[in-house]
Structure 1
Amino acid sequence: MPILLALLAAAGGIVFWMMRARNAAHAAHAAQDLADMAGDVMSAARRFGFRRRHDEHPVDSLQDRNVAVAGIGLSFLEMGALPTAEQHEALLISLQHRLGMTEPAAREAAILGRWLMQECSGAQQGLTRLARRLYKLGGANGFSALMDVLRDVAAKAEGTLAPRQKDALEEIGRIWKLR
């Protein structure tokens, strides 16, 4: 009997250390994913010449209208139901066609736009702040391109627009003083 207990204890110890090693490997993989994501944001920021000033919000440091449109498009997507891969692809394709961006530039604009949206603490605040910044950067010039991108994104949505998306369109109208 004592030998059987010793074997069970040894097997339990082996299982415990194997699980611990596996969890450590998962944690290392997750840390690498975070590092890769941070690297993606940094390279996208470099590509668009984004320089964050420490005395102001990151959105207020933005100087590229295309990144603002990408961030607004992502915020608009997040306000609906869970965005699908097809909707993300529709956004990237729309950025390429409507703004004349290359595919890598559109992906980097989306990466930086998502980071800016997250810095605003969510999609609603991100959309409002990015839309105000886009208005300051381009005035009325940025409105038609933005609406074309949002129309393309909305066309890929299943069904009709969500109430939050309708509110977002009204907010954009208020920012551009259309209402």
Structure 2
Amino acid sequence: MESAEGKKSSEKFNAALQSKQADAEKRQKELEDGQKKLQTQERTLSETAKANLQRDIDRRTTELRRLNEDAQKELQSLRDELLRPIAERASAILNALAAEQGYTLIIDVSNPQSNVVWFNPKNDLTEELTRRIDAATKTTEAAKPAAPPAVRPAAPAPVAPPRTVAPAPGVPRPTPPAPGPGRP
């Protein structure tokens, strides 16, 4: 079960991820086009033209590698920025819930790798925790001063879903950072 704030954060993260992937795929295609051009026109190009094209391919490969590294760092930073407030709020609410209910131990059973063999579902706090997180989020948002109305930009044109493109040999694609300990 996911809180409303968690869903919003997931959507924001996924939008950023798709944007980074689309940019990487575009650059990957440009790189592949240059490689294909070099292969198909190798016999007809002058040595200078071949050398220039190879330098361009090398430059694009380096740029793509750096772009992917930067994208992974930015995505990890965004994930941390989005999840930190949720995790802090969830922890505070979970601590209050545990004290209120008199629990001495709460186990996260959502992870299939956990060592929990069985538990009584009546002790599952997931729904109550999610309800309280949503309530706390609404309270926090209601306490914030209203922002001045912003000029709304024109809606972007619909974007086709990204197509899968195999990366050039030795060039990694941006991937979402793996959730770390304590991250949902």
Q: After TM superposition, is the score higher than 0.5?
A: no
What TM-score bracket applies, with the shorter chain setting the length?
0.3 to 0.5
Between Structure 1 and Structure 2, the one with more helix by share is: 1
Q: Per chain length, whose mean CA-contact separation is higher, i.e. which structure has more relative contact order (CA < 8 Å, sep 6+)?
A: 2
Larger Cα-atom Rg = 2
The TM-score normalised by the length of structure 1 is 0.33
The TM-score normalised by the length of structure 2 is 0.33
